[in-house]
Structure 1
Amino acid sequence: MNFGGLISAAPVFDAIAWFDPIRIGSTSLLASASTADNAPFIFAGILASLVVIYLASTIGGEVCARLNLPPVLGQLIGGLVVGISALHLLVFPEGGGDSSNSLLMSFLEATAGLSVDGVTTTFQIDSEVISVLSEIGVVILLFEIGLESNLQELLRVGTQATIVAIVGVVTPFLFGTLGLITLFHISTVPAIFAGAALTATSIGITAKVLAELNYLNRSEGQIIIGAAVLDDVLGIIVLAVVASLAKTGEVELTNIIYLILSSVVFLVGAILIGRWLNPYFVQLVDALKTRGQLLIPALIFAFVLSYIATVIKLEAILGAFTAGLVLAETQKCRELKNQVVPIADILVPIFFVVVSAKTDIGVLNPAVPANREGLIMASFLIVVAILGKVVTGFTVFGQEKVNRLAIGVGMIPRGEVGLVFAGIGSATGVLPPALDAAIIVMVIVTTFIAPPLLQIVFQRSPEQNLPQPEAIASSPESR
């Protein structure tokens, strides 16, 4: 089994990686899509894909909600069921699928009369469009999370979040790399790549669970979010280092310095300029008379910051989260949140279902001989991945009542970020198949165990689940 097919050749990274702009196909592909013969089938395929996504999201979310589990876990499980691991209704090239094993394409052939010649083009473009909608969904999610967050609280826990983030990157990286070298006799460069994959944190998954548990505005939630944002920035730097190491055998210091400086300048500059522009934003909104006078300017601001973050080689979600933080300080915050929620309800489920649908849990099957060596290494990586993040919560100081275990658990999920590391390592030929499979298994396990674990460690009485009085007093709704 070609595990590298989960995230295949380098051009695919441009479409799915968090670290690069999304570019939809090629000119010739789009030209093909515009032909009168294929266009209706392409649109029909997108609609059918969305039906599958929303059904999987709703059914999975409902089941988990009735079992008192986070609904986001149900969305992830729903994606597994309809994706490459089970029903093959929703498959993607970067997930190891193609038009021949897509039941959705077979359905279009049978019901809509899609020709055999048009299947490949329809499949490719449908996959790209759904992937783009997924990326937009996570941008909206982080924008919503930014609106839910409190900048003053984030600044208050900034030092602690920074320590959590640094420990959460350094600890799993060192133990993972050294363990692979000493215990499994893996070469240095592949071991470094695998260690780097352990550093990531999927802020999207953790943030969604925190919001569902009403813990986003508590100290634990703010520390986790702040640390996860810094984790993403540090992850970008780590990725640049290991990618350079894989390609050239040496690290380009200039790239590291650039990424560090650009991250700091972007975050600080966007927040300072945004806070200065806030009164003018409110004046503009009050002056507009057309429909969407608040929502549209806010989305423009979020997309502009996301664009800037992308072109300077950071992440779009970093820009969206920053935009939410800035607008959360305006008197329009509560009204804006109410208008963003329906959009998030439409787009965010696409992200979670698609991330899960692209994941092939076939690598967990011990009956396949090729998987066994990878599963042994995966067991080691999973232990390091979990403990390497859990210990971060115990570095928090000065707050006796804070749930340190919850902070560590909140940093566990690797999600799609870990898959990007694995994909780049596989495409460059650095990772042997067994280690490639081990990384993928680690990503799968950490992604799926984090939501229920967060539910357990945050298990409190209803009164304790509510935001603390000081958080309510400083929250955007109180203004």
Structure 2
Amino acid sequence: MIYLESIHHNQLSPNFVFYNPLLATTPNAETTSMVLAGVLLSLVFIYLASKLGGELSKLVDLPPVLGELVAGVVVGVSALHLLIFPETGAVASDSIVIIILQQIAGLNPESAEKVFALSSKVISILAELGVIILLFEIGLESDLRELQKVGSQAAVVAVVGVIVPFVAATAGLMLIFGLPTIPAVFVGAALTATCIGITSRLLLQLGQLKSIEGQIIVGATVIDDVIGIVILAVVASLAKTGDVDLLNLVYLIISATAFLLGSVFLGKFFNNSFMAIADKLQTRGKLVIPALTFAFLMAFLANTVGLEAILGAFAAGLVLDETDKRKELDQQVIPIADILVPIFFVSIGAKVNLSVLNPTSSGNFQGLAIAAFLILVAIIGKTIAGFAVFGQEKINRLAIGIGMIPRGAVALAFVSVGEINGVLDKPLQAAIIIMVILSTFVAPPLLRFAFQQGEQLTEKPDLALEK
């Protein structure tokens, strides 16, 4: 009887057609059910792609995050169309997910477009939550006490490693390619931050993590990650205002820095209260739930004062890094990051339309040239930073510079924020993604070569003395 009423209802409502008796009997219920189905199927493709990409990447001794990013490109608008978004110019008929739903539930074209838009929005929101959790996790891993031990050497390398690629990329994009100021600044800023996770893993594999060079690299990557997050908050706010006002720029830099430093300072008083609350709670999640509540609150406050939400999440991580249960909290956040962060990486890759960089099309020449230019600046800009080390005679400056080359999460956060604010067009987004991928690909062999060359140089004087 319910099935007959459902069929009858659909005859009266031309916008929605039901063929499955398990579906609800109202248009809104059908839309909700189909959106949920679209989200679930999209998540299936996302997690399959992320694990397959990550495992294949690990097999060839590359960071799993790189595999997730490349897998996103494969399942996205550039190839399989398993995960596509309306903002890439795609429509419902382009989506394999929607085609499958049409075959199962008989959605008509109008309702299919609605389901496509809503399910894509849900995935985008989950991806945004993923990047918030990612920056919270990075904040937890950025040990302020270790930063204090590294000293001025790492700070100099970090600052030079931020300024050189930022200035070179911004000036080059404006003077050579004629880009407007805001997009040029945004792309230049995306080149500033080194990926601490990738760099630390490379150093560990080479047995150089505890070396002087390794300590300077790790310290510098932490510092330039912090600088990169501040820059992201500043340029994102500039993107919202649409112009470069010197007074506004100074205000944004001061407000972002003050928010970060103020959060860390006040966090010293907050930590005791946080631990007292966590100790009194008796149910599951007594540590991680208050921590995530604090992270989301900080993200909300940052967003409220005109900064990026991820700055607040990063600040929350820095604050909670000072608690006595930091290691325990780290372990509890990892499973949450494992669930949400892959959605962010795969979604970023899926939105990259490599056709805008197709070398066979003459109209794509500028996009290809920009991508090549960014890769060059990304490699040279960070390598130069290694030679800024002072007061050290027997130190491998080339290895320090090359160790700063890999880009990662923060650069991808720039792509996400730039897309949301309408600052970065498709060729610029693709160029940044390619820069992230290739900088990560070239770093392992170059770093291995740099350390080998350094060992040979230190051995040669000894050999000469023996003779």
**Alignment partner, residue 332 of structure 1:** 325
Q: Match for 1:444 among 433, 438, 442?
A: 433
The answer as to 2:109 corresponding to 1:116 is yes
The question of whether the paired residues in 2 share the 8 Å contact of 1:53 and 1:350 is answered with yes
Distance, in Å, in 1 between the alignment partners of 2:170 and 2:324 is 48
Of 184, 199, 222, which aligns to 1:194?
A: 184
Contact 2:403 2:447 in 1 (8 A): no
Higher mean displacement: 35-44 or 258-267:
258-267
Equivalences for 1:95-174 in 2 at 5 Å? 95-157=88-150, 163-164=156-157, 166-174=159-167
Letter in 1 for 2:188: L
Hey, what does 2:414 align to over in structure 1?
A: 417
Higher relative contact order (CA 8 A, sep 6+): 1
What does residue 461 of structure 2 align with? none
> Equivalent residue for 2:361?
368
Distance 1:117 1:411, change over 3 A: closer
> Is this contact kept in 1: 2:154–2:217, CA < 8 A?
no
Structure-2 residue corresponding to 1:78: 71
| 2:282 paired residue among 281, 289, 305 | 289
Contact 1:170 1:199 in 2 (8 A): no
CA 1:327/1:285 → structure 2, altered by over 3 Å: closer, same or farther? same
Give the CA deviation at 1:338.
1.8
Contact 1:394 1:408 in 2 (8 A): no
How much does 1:109 deviate? 0.6
* Distance verdict in 2 for CA 1:307–1:395, change over 3 Å: farther
Contact residue 99 and residue 123 of structure 1 kept, 8 A: yes
**Kindly tell me: are residues 356 and 398 of structure 1, through their superposed partners in 2, closer, same or farther at Cα, counting changes over 3 Å?**
farther
TM-score, normalising length from structure 1? 0.77
Q: Is 1:233 the equivalent of 2:230?
A: yes
Distance 1:63 1:37, change over 3 A: same
Cα distance between partner residues in 2 of 1:406 and 1:386: 8
SS in 2 for 1:84: coil
Against the structure 1 CA distance between its residues 43 and 368, is the aligned structure 2 distance closer, same or farther, given a 3 Å change threshold?
same
Whether the 8 Å CA contact 1:201–1:232 is kept in 2: the answer is no
Q: Give the alignment's Cα RMSD to 1 decimal.
A: 3.1
In 2, the alpha carbon distance for the partners of 1:34 and 1:312 equals: 40
- State the match for 1:408 in structure 2: 404
Q: How does 1:309-324 map to 2 (within 5 A)?
A: 309-324=302-317
Counterpart Cα distance in 2 of 1:391 and 1:300: 41
Q: How far 1:82 sits from its partner (Å)? A: 0.6
Matched AA of 1:346 = I
CA positional deviation for 1:191: 6.1
The Cα shift of 1:274 comes to 1.1
Cα deviation, residue 305, structure 1 = 1.3
Q: Is the partner of 1:198 in helix, strand or coil?
A: helix
| Alpha-carbon distance, 1:458 to partner | 5.2
State the alpha-carbon separation in 1 of the partners of residues 201 and 232 from structure 2: 26
Does 2:79 match 1:91? Answer: no
Asked if the contact 1:224/1:407 (under 8 Å) is kept, the reply is no
1:224 matches 2:221: yes
Deviation, structure 1 residue 252 = 2.2
CA distance in structure 1 between the aligned counterparts of 2:292 and 2:106, rounded to whole angstroms: 39
Partner of residue 293 from structure 2, selected from 297, 300, 316: 300
Structure 1 residue 95 displacement after superposition: 2.7
How far does residue 401 in structure 1 lie from its aligned partner after superposition?
Answer: 6.3
Picking from 372, 397, 407, the partner of 1:379 is: 372
Q: What percent of counterpart residues are identical?
A: 42
Partner residue, 2:12: none
The aligned amino acid for 1:88 is: H
Residue 362 of structure 2 aligns with an amino acid whose one-letter code is: P
Partner of 1:22: none
Larger radius of gyration: 2
Distance 1:120 1:398, change over 3 A: farther
Could you tell me whether the CA contact under 8 Å between 1:164 and 1:392 is conserved in 2? yes
Q: Which whole-Å deviations, capped at 9, do the CAs of 1:299-322 have from their partners, x for residues lacking one? A: 111111111122222222222222
Q: Which secondary structure state, in structure 2, belongs to the residue aligned with residue 410 of structure 1?
A: coil
The answer to whether the 8 Å contact 2:383/2:404 transfers is yes
- Cα gap change, 1:314 to 1:168, in 2 (>3 Å): farther
Counterpart Cα distance in 1 of 2:185 and 2:270: 42
Q: Is the 8 A contact 2:287 2:329 kept in 1?
A: yes
Gaps of 5+ in 2: 1-25, 450-467
Give, in angstroms, the shift of residue 382 of structure 1. Answer: 3.1
Q: 1:108 to 1:457 in 2, by over 3 A?
A: same
Offset of 1:114 from its aligned partner?
A: 2.9
Contact 2:165/2:191 (8 A) holds in 1: no
Counterpart amino acid of 2:428?
I
Amino acid at match of 2:117: Q
Partner of 1:20: none
Tell me, what secondary structure is at the counterpart of 1:367?
A: coil
In the alignment of these two chains, the number of paired residues is 412
CA–CA separation in structure 1 for the residues paired with 2:154 and 2:190? 15
- The change in CA–CA distance for 1:398 and 1:282 in structure 2 (over 3 A counts) is farther
Report the Cα distance in structure 2 between the residues aligned to 1:232 and 1:34, rounded to whole angstroms: 44
Matched, 1:209 2:198: yes
CA contact (8 A) 1:144 1:324 kept: yes
Partner amino acid for 1:443?
I
Rounded Cα–Cα distance in structure 2 between residues aligned with 1:37 and 1:425: 32
Q: Please name the residue that 2:254 is paired with.
A: 261
Q: Which moved more, 1:283-292 or 1:366-375?
A: 366-375
Q: Tell whether the 8 Å contact from 2:155 to 2:219 is kept in structure 1 after alignment.
A: no
Q: SS of 2:376's equivalent?
A: helix
In structure 2, relative to structure 1, the CA distance for the partners of 1:198 and 1:386 (3 Å cut) is farther
Q: Distance in 1 between matches of 2:333 and 2:27?
A: 32
Cα separation, 1, equivalents of 2:195 and 2:416: 17
For residues 104-150 of structure 1, give each alpha carbon's deviation from its aligned partner in whole angstroms, at most 9, with x where no partner exists.
Answer: 11111112333322111111111111111111112212222222231
TM-score normalised by length of structure 2 = 0.78
